[in-house]
Structure 1
Amino acid sequence: MARAQGARALMALAFETTYGTPPASGFTRMPFARATLGSEQPLLDSELLGYGRDPLAPIKDAVTADGDVVVPLDAEAFGFWLKAAFGSPTTTGAEAPYTHEFQSGSWTLPSMSIETGMPEVPRYAMYSGCVLDQITWQMQRSGLLTATARLVAQGETVGTTTSAGTPAGLELQRFGHFNGAITRNGTALGNVVSAEITYSNNLDRIETIRGDGRIDGADPTMAALTGRIEVRFADQTLVSQAINGEVCEMEFAYVLPSGENFTFTAHAVYLPRPRIEIAGPQGVQASFDWQAARATSPARMCTAVLVNTLAGY
């Protein structure tokens, strides 16, 4: 008897033309490390009396479909998650390399159909109406570089055969922590121990009355861009900015030797005044839980630029 193994799991993704309707073709095979994307429908205990101490049968509640997908930061596949987070990019370049620019502030976000497959069971689950709620990743000195995409889906359809056909493949060119750099107002920011970036669309689920118990959609509300920077305390630059209430531009970038690169720029970053603690004989560190806002020029909160050999998303 075959048993499900994560090593054989598959994931395919395609953007939808109509919300909640999986497209007939156009799926792309996606690299991923973990996935908690799933659908659940809890049971409600019966509250009725008059039938003795033994309870009556429970009834089904509404369907909830959501979860996280952990993906690598790479030169090609990560663009699909950026499109889900910000909307379609502006692509320039007559031939490779192509530059894809994603901007915050879009009023509408694309929905996706994502199929996860376990061929040995077999079980293929199609999650339709997937909208990206949040994407987050960390920068550090070593380790595997991954991002976590939090999704809200409309529903799940399970079958024994794939509905994604033969997904198109991508060339995996993965960024590593070694390829990363952080700049502040165009100057390299030193003494950084780690950094975290979180972009949230803060989705509002449209929970209308339906016969199938699913949501009607997920609308983006006020976006948020937050994070944390952990630095070795060596100068007063960041502390002075925090005390004076000043704003800066911060850029988080990754560059591969072959030329592919990813740059994420927060155009107006505000820093809180941190507590500087001396915890022992080791070096003193300071943490800044920063927040970004809409800048004056450019008139948006953030920009993500991905340069690769893919013609478009």
Structure 2
Amino acid sequence: MARAQGARSQLAVAFETVYGTAPASGFLKVPFASTTLGTEQPLLDSELLGYGRDPLAPVKDASTSDGDVVVPIDAVAWGIWLKGAFGDPTTTGTAAPYSHEFASGSYSLPSMSIEKGMPEVPNYEMFSGVMVDKISWQMQRSGLLTATVSCIAQGEDDATASAAGTLTEVDVERFGHFNGAIQRNGVSLGNVVSGQITYANNLDKIETIRSDGKIDGADPANAQLSGQIVVRFADTTLRDQAIDGEACELRFGYALGDHSFELVAHKVYLPRPKTEISGPSGVQVTFDWQAAKDLSLGRMCTATLINDEETY
């Protein structure tokens, strides 16, 4: 008897032309580390009386299709998730490498179809109307560099055979933590122990009454870019900025040869933190930063991916 194994699972992704309608072809096999994307439908306990102490049969409640996909931040496939989070990029360049610029604040976000396949069972779960609600990742000195992509889907259809057709495999050219750098106002920010970045679309589910139990869509609300940086307390530059209430530009980037990824938060505000001394070791200070719209640029942040892909 075959049993599902994560090592044999696969994830196929394609952008939709019509929300909630999976395309017949054009799916890409993308790398991923883990996923919780799935559909849940709880049961409601019966409240009826008059049939003794033993309860009557439960009733199905509304279903939800959502979850996270943990993916590597790489030079190619990462652009798919950036497009889902920010919308279509502006691509420049007449030959490789090409520069793909993603801007925050778009009112129109694309939807995807994602098929989660376990061929040894066989079981294939096709999620349609998938939209990216949030992307987040950590910056640190060592370890594997991954991002968590939080998704909301319209619904799920199960089958014993793949509906994605012939898959095109995406090359994996992965960035590492040692490729990373953080800059403040164009100057490398020193003494950084770790960082965390989260961009959220704050999707609002359209939960109308339907016979199939699916949602009608998900509308983007106010976008949010926030995070955390932990620094060794070596000077008062960040603390002074927080006290003065001024904004700065923060750049979080990775480079590997001709390929790179950079997220620029154009206007970042810092709260005034406590300066705690917890022992004889070095003193660390944590800043929970928030980004705001730069009115002169007309956006809160810009994500730029440079690679050999001509288009997304």
**Do these two structures clear the TM 0.5 threshold for a shared fold by scoring above it?**
yes
Once residues 237 and 13 of structure 2 are traced to their aligned partners in structure 1, the CA distance between those partners, rounded to angstroms, is 44
Determine the structure 2 residue equivalent to 1:294.
293
Once residues 162 and 301 of structure 1 are traced to their aligned partners in structure 2, the CA distance between those partners, rounded to angstroms, is 40
Once residues 213 and 41 of structure 2 are traced to their aligned partners in structure 1, the CA distance between those partners, rounded to angstroms, is 9
Q: How many residues align?
A: 312
Q: Residue by residue, what CA displacement relative to the aligned partner does 1:175-200 show, whole Å, maximum 9, x if unpaired? A: 00000000000000000000000000
Q: Residue by residue, what CA displacement relative to the aligned partner does 1:86-136 show, whole Å, maximum 9, x if unpaired? A: 000001111111100000010011010000111110111000110111100
Q: Residue by residue, what CA displacement relative to the aligned partner does 1:223-277 show, whole Å, maximum 9, x if unpaired? A: 1000000000000000000000000000001000x21000100000000000001
Once residues 271 and 166 of structure 2 are traced to their aligned partners in structure 1, the CA distance between those partners, rounded to angstroms, is 50
Query: What's the offset of the Cα at 1:296?
Result: 2.5
Specify the SS of the correspondent of 1:74: coil
Determine the structure 2 residue equivalent to 1:172.
172
What does 1:273-284 align with in structure 2 at a 5 Å threshold?
Answer: 273-284=272-283
Determine the structure 1 residue equivalent to 2:61.
61
Specify the SS of the correspondent of 2:85: helix
Determine the structure 2 residue equivalent to 1:153.
153
Once residues 161 and 214 of structure 1 are traced to their aligned partners in structure 2, the CA distance between those partners, rounded to angstroms, is 22
Q: After the TM superposition, which segments of 4 or more aligned residues of structure 1 sit over 2 Å from their partners?
A: none
Taking structure 1 as the reference length, what is the TM-score of the superposition?
Answer: 0.99
Structure 1: runs of 5+ lacking an equivalent: none
Query: What's the offset of the Cα at 1:299?
Result: 1.6
Once residues 95 and 25 of structure 1 are traced to their aligned partners in structure 2, the CA distance between those partners, rounded to angstroms, is 27
Q: Which amino acid aligns with 1:306?
A: L
Specify the SS of the correspondent of 1:238: helix
What does 1:216-227 align with in structure 2 at a 5 Å threshold?
Answer: 216-227=216-227
Determine the structure 2 residue equivalent to 1:90.
90
Identity %: 67
Q: Residue by residue, what CA displacement relative to the aligned partner does 1:208-235 show, whole Å, maximum 9, x if unpaired? A: 0000111110110011000000000000
Determine the structure 2 residue equivalent to 1:80.
80
Structure 2 residue 21 is matched with structure 1 residue 12: no
What does 1:248-259 align with in structure 2 at a 5 Å threshold?
Answer: 248-256=248-256, 258-259=257-258
Determine the structure 2 residue equivalent to 1:212.
212
Deviates more, 1:148-157 or 1:49-58: 49-58
- What is the root-mean-square deviation of aligned Cα atoms in Å? 0.6
Specify the SS of the correspondent of 1:243: helix
Q: Which amino acid aligns with 2:144?
A: L
Once residues 295 and 56 of structure 2 are traced to their aligned partners in structure 1, the CA distance between those partners, rounded to angstroms, is 61
Determine the structure 1 residue equivalent to 2:238.
238
Q: Residue by residue, what CA displacement relative to the aligned partner does 1:6-38 show, whole Å, maximum 9, x if unpaired? A: 000100000111111100111111100000000
